[in-house]
Amino acid sequence: MALRIIFMGTPDFSVPTLNALAKAGHEIVAVYSQPPRPAGRRGLDLTKSPVHQAAEALGIPVLTPLNFKLEEDRQAFLNHQADVAVVVAYGLLLPQAILDGTKLGCYNGHASLLPRWRGAAPIQRAIMAGDTETGMMVMKMNKGLDTGPVALTARIAITPSMTAGELHDALSDIGAKAMVEAIAKLEAGDLPLVEQQSEGVLYAAKIDKAETRIDFSKPASEVHNHIRGLWPFPGAWFEAEVNGKLERIKVLTSAVSSGTGQPGEVLDDMLTIACGEGAVKLTRLQKAGGKPLNAQDFLRGTPLAQGTVFA
């Protein structure tokens, strides 16, 4: 017998889970998503979230409360008389009234191996820290920040060149399968819950713009992890003087290389840059307003001579 599910999510990361639950035959009685936001070059057009659009394509009603402070919003949630709520990157902390608002509770799909990387940016933080493994965890939610007991874990290796975008897509697919499996076990009354360990807790703070600038004084491995952990959003960058003008240049991809020099120094004509320890090769770059280019093509239009030092 299918469960009555409330789905709560916002970005494209959440869409595969919504689609997978619908395909599995569950009755998704409502979808909750963040309200439409300004978009477009002038910010005048309101754009529905990816989950909002996916739900409409499935013919599921969508609700977009700013929060659940209003009694009418809390009551509307209860009125669905759902068996369970499934939450994947919704973007709001849920009050106790909502956590208790279904028969079986709220289950969250979280993109880390809890208790490591609780919080807003677990994918980026795992790569930036040089982690070699992560995963998706299905967790029964409580009032804490990603502190609830874990029901199911799906692991994945983080390869040395994997970007945050690539890991995002892989975890999105893995998470959809894991949630379908967890909900099937829940429906059968066979979903064990294991409390999280108290050791190894790390918080994945939201990425701050101030930390996106590349610091070439760090070891090459850390610079490389910084670059791949911030691609495609918000992007790591450095500044260089081009034709007498200081320009911001984003680095899309890189590779750890060899070489020594002053941190930030261009060591050759292939954009190998000296770091505090070792060197990193910048393999794909993008100027502000320009298109992404591999290093060779980039250098044709933006000469960065050997011996140049990036501050």
Annotated binding site for (6S)-5,6,7,8-tetrahydrofolate: 112-115
φ/ψ bin of 221: left (φ > 0), alpha (ψ from -120 to 50), beta (otherwise): alpha
Q: Residue 287 and residue 281: Cα distance in Å, rounded?
A: 17
- Binding site, residues? 112-115
Q: What are 151's strand-pairing partners?
A: none
Structure tokens at 1: 């017998």
